Chains A and B, each alone.
Chain A
Amino acid sequence: NAGVTQTPKFQVLKTGQSMTLQCAQDMNHEYMSWYRQDPGMGLRLIHYSVGAGITDQGEVPNGYNVSRSTTEDFPLRLLSAAPSQTSVYFCASSYRDSSLRAPYEQYFGPGTRLTVT
């Protein structure tokens, strides 16, 4: 298994440009999430999905859109990039056993470092 993959690894955008950060997992995980990591602030949840066709907002959703058309893919779209979106973005996925009624380990991708000038 490749696990969680993210592309691109690095990206530089100008203010106002749009782009999509790609995330894919091959573990058949139901849950997928996007986090951003900024110095001194840990990881903050942007959006998450509990299954194909279902998405919801996290702590810092403004300026980002997501969709989940398949179990494997969970792209993150920046509609109009702003310097405040300069960050490292991590995608994560996890499995859930409904009988256990408890969370399972989140597997993180290698990250995308985004700079908006």
Chain B
Amino acid sequence: GENVEQHPSTLSVQEGDSAVIKCTYSDSASNYFPWYKQELGKGPQLIIDIRSNVGEKKDQRIAVTLNKTAKHFSLHITETQPEDSAVYFCAASNTPGTASKLTFGTGTRLQVTL
């Protein structure tokens, strides 16, 4: 089955700096790569996703890049703000047309300090 590794497990940045979280996946058939943000006591919420036919996607301060050859994808947050502090999860899906079978990374706890 699919295996997703995520690094780092914790990340501390100063407000205004950039944060980068990296994930690798094992199944070359995976074609959908979402990123979720989880705040304390809440369920994960999708912040951005990318499909295998796209190399980069940007939404305001958040961007995701995908390298299919290396089976690697990354989340980039620029101009970090205190409200970006949360746990971030990457995930991969290798089932076309089926969103249900996501394999998650182990999460990155991001802390943005003033």
> Digit string of B75-97 for contact with A (CB within 8 Å is 1, else 0)?
00000000000000100010111
- Whether A110 is near chain B, meaning CB under 8 Å from some CB there, is yes
CA distance A33 to B98 in the complex (A): 11
CB neighbours of B13 from chain A (8 A):
none
CB neighbours of A109 from chain B (8 A):
43
CB neighbours of A41 from chain B (8 A):
106
CB neighbours of A103 from chain B (8 A):
32, 93, 95-99
What's the nearest-Cβ distance from chain A to residue B37, in Å? Answer: 11
Q: What is the number of residues of chain B that contact chain A, defined by CB distance less than 8 Å?
A: 31
- Whether B104 is near chain A, meaning CB under 8 Å from some CB there, is yes
CB neighbours of B45 from chain A (8 A):
108
Contact pick for B104, options A32, A44, A98, A104, CB 8 Å: A44
Q: What is the number of residues of chain A that contact chain B, defined by CB distance less than 8 Å?
A: 34
CB neighbours of A31 from chain B (8 A):
98-100
A43, B89: Cβ atoms closer than 8 Å: yes
Contact pick for B97, options A4, A43, A92, A102, CB 8 Å: A102
For B95, give the chain A residue with the smallest CB separation. A103
Contact pick for A42, options B1, B46, B99, B107, CB 8 Å: B107
Q: Given contacts A42-B106, A102-B51, are A108 and B44 in contact (CB under 8 A)?
A: yes
For A9, give the chain B residue with the smallest CB separation. B41
In the complex, chain A residues 24-60 whose Cβ is within 8 Å of any chain B Cβ? 31-33, 35, 40-45, 48-50, 58-59
Q: Given contacts A43-B89, A45-B102, are A96 and B43 in contact (CB under 8 A)?
A: no
Question: 8 tightest CB-CB pairs across the interface, nearest first?
Answer: A108-B43, A103-B99, A94-B99, A42-B104, A48-B100, A43-B104, A31-B100, A42-B106
Chain B residues with CB under 8 Å of chain A are 1, 4, 6, 9, 31-32, 34, 36, 41-46, 49, 51, 89, 93, 95-107
Chain A residues with CB under 8 Å of chain B are 4, 31-33, 35, 40-45, 48-50, 58-59, 90, 92, 94-96, 98, 100-111
**A–B pairs, 19, beta carbons within 8 Å:** A35-B104, A42-B105, A43-B44, A45-B101, A45-B102, A50-B100, A90-B43, A92-B43, A94-B99, A96-B99, A101-B96, A101-B97, A102-B31, A103-B98, A103-B99, A105-B49, A105-B99, A106-B102, A108-B36
